[in-house]
């Protein structure tokens, strides 16, 4: 049985890509017990919370995230997702282990049918599914999926799915999102991240070469000492 938790440095990974993060205390050890099933995520599953009522402030959003992480429902124990996303684009980190968010999953994209709670990282976006999507929330949703795909599951955008694409019981979330268009946006963000990483690596290599050149130049100068005008330079002792 495979039970692979999300990385401890997940908040740092997200913040490094410009995502605002709030950590729900205890998330690193939170998850359904291994006796309930595996956790070996290969994809990201997008949801909306359904009951969200535009609370609109950080305190209320945090309370909602706490409920998702710690309380759950009488018929469905917490955690109910790994991450939550507020209307304002804030990501709450809820749990690192298996969560009750997907149920049985049918084949979708490049992800085979199976136990959805084992196969997917679950994101609950605070939205009733009918109210539309604020630009900031929608854009952050796509960026979050892009970062998770590149840095955690290490899989293609085709493993980013909506619950309506995997559900065997007629789920419709995330409501009013065209998942094909959403994946196109997610792919653009993945490519932006790749391009930024490539640029940073090229800059690092160039700076490394420059540093070596400067070091070599100073090394050559280091064998000589400065003198007053007209005085001959001499080599300095090396031992």
DSSP 8-state secondary structure symbol assigned to residue 107: -
Mean pLDDT on 196-205: 82
In percent, the amount of the chain with pLDDT more than 70 equals 85
Q: Is the pLDDT of residue 218 over 50?
A: yes
- Cβ-count burial 83-107 (b if 16+ within 10 Å, e if not): bbbbbebbbbbbbbbbbbbbeebee
Which residue, among 33, 67, 8, has the nearest Cα to 81 in the 3D structure? 67
Q: What is the pTM of this model?
A: 0.85
Q: Please indicate, yes or no, if residue 222 is contained in any of the structural domains.
A: no
Q: Is the pLDDT of residue 237 over 90?
A: no
Q: Please indicate, yes or no, if residue 79 is contained in any of the structural domains.
A: yes
Mapped onto helix, strand or coil, the DSSP state of residue 93 is strand
Q: What is the 3-state secondary structure (H, E, C) of 52-92?
A: CCCCCCHHHHHHHHHHHHHHEECCEECCCCCEEECCCCCEE
Q: Please indicate, yes or no, if residue 208 is contained in any of the structural domains.
A: no
Q: Using one digit for the tens of pLDDT, what is the confidence trace for 80-117? A: 999 999 999 999 999 999 999 999 999 999 999 999 99
In percent, the amount of the chain with pLDDT more than 90 equals 77
Joined tokens for residue 16: 């490094």
Q: Using one digit for the tens of pLDDT, what is the confidence trace for 28-65? A: 999 999 999 999 999 999 999 987 655 557 788 999 99
Q: Please indicate, yes or no, if residue 216 is contained in any of the structural domains.
A: no
Domain that holds residue 132: 10-194
Mapped onto helix, strand or coil, the DSSP state of residue 96 is coil
Q: How many domains does the chain have?
A: 1
Q: Please indicate, yes or no, if residue 169 is contained in any of the structural domains.
A: yes
Report which of residues 47 and 227 the model is more confident about: 47
Q: Please indicate, yes or no, if residue 219 is contained in any of the structural domains.
A: no
Please report, for the domain that includes residue 104, its CATH number: 3.40.80.10
- Contact status, residue 99 vs residue 79, Cβ threshold 8 Å: yes
Q: Please indicate, yes or no, if residue 211 is contained in any of the structural domains.
A: no
Q: Please indicate, yes or no, if residue 46 is contained in any of the structural domains.
A: yes
Mean pLDDT on 136-159: 99
């Amino acid at each position: 049985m495979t039970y692979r938790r999300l990385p401890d440095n997940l908040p740092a990974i997200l913040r490094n890509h410009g995502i605002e993060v709030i950590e729900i205390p205890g998330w690193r050890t939170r998850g359904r017990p291994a006796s309930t099933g595996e956790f070996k995520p290969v994809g990201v599953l997008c949801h909306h919370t359904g009951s969200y009522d535009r609370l609109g402030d950080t305190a209320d959003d945090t309370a909602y995230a706490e409920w998702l992480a710690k309380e759950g429902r009488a018929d469905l124990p917490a955690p109910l997702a790994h991450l939550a996303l507020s209307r304002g684009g804030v990501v709450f980190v809820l749990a690192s282990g298996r969560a009750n968010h997907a149920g049985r999953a049918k084949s979708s994209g490049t992800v085979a049918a199976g136990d959805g709670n084992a196969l997917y990282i679950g994101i609950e976006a605070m939205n009733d599914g009918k109210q539309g999507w604020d630009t900031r929330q929608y854009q952050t949703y796509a960026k979050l999926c892009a970062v998770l795909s590149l840095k955690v599951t290490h899989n293609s955008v085709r493993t980013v799915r909506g619950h309506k694409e995997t559900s065997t019981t007629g789920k419709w979330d995330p409501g009013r999102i065209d998942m094909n268009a959403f994946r196109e946006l997610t792919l653009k963000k993945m490519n932006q991240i790749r391009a930024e990483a490539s640029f940073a690596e090229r800059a690092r290599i160039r700076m490394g070469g420059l540093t070596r050149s400067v070091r070599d130049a100073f090394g050559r100068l280091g064998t000589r000492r400065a003198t007053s005008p007209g005085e001959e330079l001499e080599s300095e002792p090396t031992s």
